[in-house]
Structure 1
Amino acid sequence: MDGALHIVSDVMAQRVVAVGREATFKEIVRLMQEWKVSALPVLEGEGRVVGVVSEADLLPKEEFRDSDPDRSTQLRRLSDLAKAGSVTAGELMTSPALTVRANETLAQAARTMAHAKVKRLPVVDELGVLQGIVSRADLLKVFLRDDEDIAEQIRREVVSYLFPSPASAVRVGVRDGIVTLTGRIRDTSLVPVAARLVRAVEGVVDVTFDLSGPDPSVAPSIDASAPSPGREESTSPA
């Protein structure tokens, strides 16, 4: 993967198995086993996503198959008990479906997955029509990026911007996605800024710094054309 910011459409699977509202319980289980997926989009009309049925939606049927829950459990798990008695995708699905757009960034999709604690998300267009599906594994593809590609992007977009002169003062090394910046910089207060920018580069696993301030043994350069401190520049009388 190159240095451009990647979006969901770059990594999503376009071949998606889905079901309609009338799909039966056993059909759903069979498709999940056959395709080795943990959830299926539920479609209606011209392919609009109206829900998602997942393994979590199916498990209550087995959990409550031979049990008689007490009153407290019934009140606390009313939704699960309803799903235990459901037989079609329309009854079992979680709706409305949590989805993403194809032009969202991978970071946005990852945050949506993390907050909702789901393993995959249907990708839809502006009308809610299914375009593909993106999984956790798809989002992790950015970490397959070549180390030298990462290093070159950091040199170009971070080092040259924050530490522009001299260009060789800060060196960038990347190994297994872990970035190391070494050298001397004029302003050490920029290190936290550099950390945020480097971590935002796709494929970066972590970043470490071995940066120090200006060498105290090197005197700052003085502009020879400027007047000496404490002395006014003399002028000749006309």
Structure 2
Amino acid sequence: MTPQPFTVADVMTKKVVAVLPGADFKEIVAAMERWKVTAVPVVEGEGRVVGVVSEADLLLKEEFHDHRLGLVEQMRRLDATAKAGSRRAEGLMTSPAVTVTPEASLPRAARLMAAHRVKRLPVVDAEGRIQGIVSRADLLKVFLRSDDELAAEVRREVVEHLFPLSHRQVAVRVDAGVVTLSGEVRDGALIPLAARLARAVEGVVDVRCVLTAADRG
């Protein structure tokens, strides 16, 4: 049995700082400063996410404040110059927003962040309504699980399922997130699988597997 993976819903922040499309520039800056965030979702209607305004979007106004662009550069950076000339969220935001669902796995959220070079993702339901926000720091929360908690899950979800007849001969130790599996098991063919499944447990940093197969001769 594969260990049950954590989802975005397990680690996301449910209290979300968001702005409306009509929010003005200074209102957005003030919200970011007050709540110590680097980006805010833009929502309309019943909380449907239509975009995201980030610090990078806002800084374009400063970048072009006293810098006149040539025609070629204007054409090359149309989106940036448009944002620099905007005063409200609807013109400043990046749209469509890169979002993730509560049921998504943590690796999927991490891949989305890396692919789109963003630090946080709005979490939305099937209708696109805001449910929370997940940041890079949130994705690292699983590594705060205690060694005892990790050891108990590895034993319950991996060792006892794979080795029902010899699980009592298997020792599971965890030190700073590193799992060590030792002892003798009846089915040596399952040892590589045990190592892979232990590594898949959320919060495990690494696995050291020194299990051996019992000599039946």
Interval of TM-score (by shorter of Structure 1 and Structure 2): 0.7 to 0.9
CA distance in 2: counterparts of 1:82 and 1:116, whole angstroms: 20
Give the stretch that moved more between structures: 164-173 or 136-145.
Answer: 164-173
* Cross-structure match for 1:61: 61
For structure 1, the residue ranges without an aligned partner over 5 or more in a row are 221-238
Cα separation, partners in 2 of 1:67 and 1:155, compared to 1, 3 Å: same
Task: Letter of the 1:97 partner, please give it.
Answer: A
Does residue 35 of structure 2 align to residue 12 of structure 1? no
- Residue type of the partner of 2:14? Q
Q: What is the aligned length?
A: 215
CA distance in 2, matches of 1:71, 1:35: 39
In the alignment, the residues of structure 2 paired with residue 189 and residue 72 of structure 1 have an alpha-carbon distance, to the nearest angstrom, of 64
Which string of whole-angstrom CA distances, capped at 9 and with x for unpartnered residues, describes residues 187-234 of structure 1? 55544422321121111111122234445xxx61xxxxxxxxxxxxxx
Give the SS at the match of 1:62: helix
2:67 aligned counterpart, secondary structure: coil
Give the 3-state SS of the residue equivalent to 1:10 in structure 2: helix
- Off by >4 Å, runs of 4+ in structure 1: 185-189
Give the number of the structure with larger relative contact order, counting CA–CA contacts within 8 Å between residues 6 or more apart.
2
Distance 2:6 2:152 in 1: 17
Q: Report the equivalent of 1:194.
A: 194
Which residue pairs with 1:183 in the alignment? Answer: 183
Q: CA deviation at 1:142?
A: 1.3
The match for 1:149 is 149
One-letter amino acid matched to 2:66: D
Residue 186 of structure 1 and its aligned partner are, at CA, apart by 5.2
Q: Which has the larger radius of gyration?
A: 1
Q: Structure 1 residues 73, 182: CA separation in 2 closer, same or farther (over 3 Å shift)?
A: farther
Letter in 2 for 1:210: V
Amino-acid identity (%): 59
**3-state SS, counterpart of residue 111 of structure 2:** helix
Partner of residue 209, structure 1: 209
Paired residue type of 2:85: G
Return closer, same or farther for 1:153/1:27 CA change in 2, 3 Å cut-off: same
For each residue in 1:124-162, what CA deviation from the matched residue of structure 2 results, as whole angstroms up to 9, or x when unmatched?
Answer: 222111122122222222111121121121112212233
Measure, in 2, the Cα distance between the counterparts of 1:146 and 1:53: 36
The answer (yes or no) to whether the contact 2:167–2:185 under 8 Å persists in 1 is no
Q: Deviations over 1:158-192 (max 9, x none)?
A: 12233444223332110111111123445555444
The aligned amino acid for 2:177 is G
- Give yes or no for contact 2:24–2:88 (8 Å, CA) kept in 1: yes
Report the alpha carbon displacement of residue 112 of structure 1 after superposing the two structures with TM: 2.3
Structure with greater helix percent: 2
Q: Which residue of 2 aligns with 1:122?
A: 122
Q: Which moved more, 1:181-190 or 1:49-58?
A: 181-190
Which segment is superposed worse, 136-145 or 73-82? 73-82
Structure 1 residues 64, 137: closer, same or farther in 2, change over 3 A?
Answer: same
Cα distance in 2 for partners of 1:108, 1:123 equals 13
Secondary structure at the aligned position of 2:148 is classed as helix
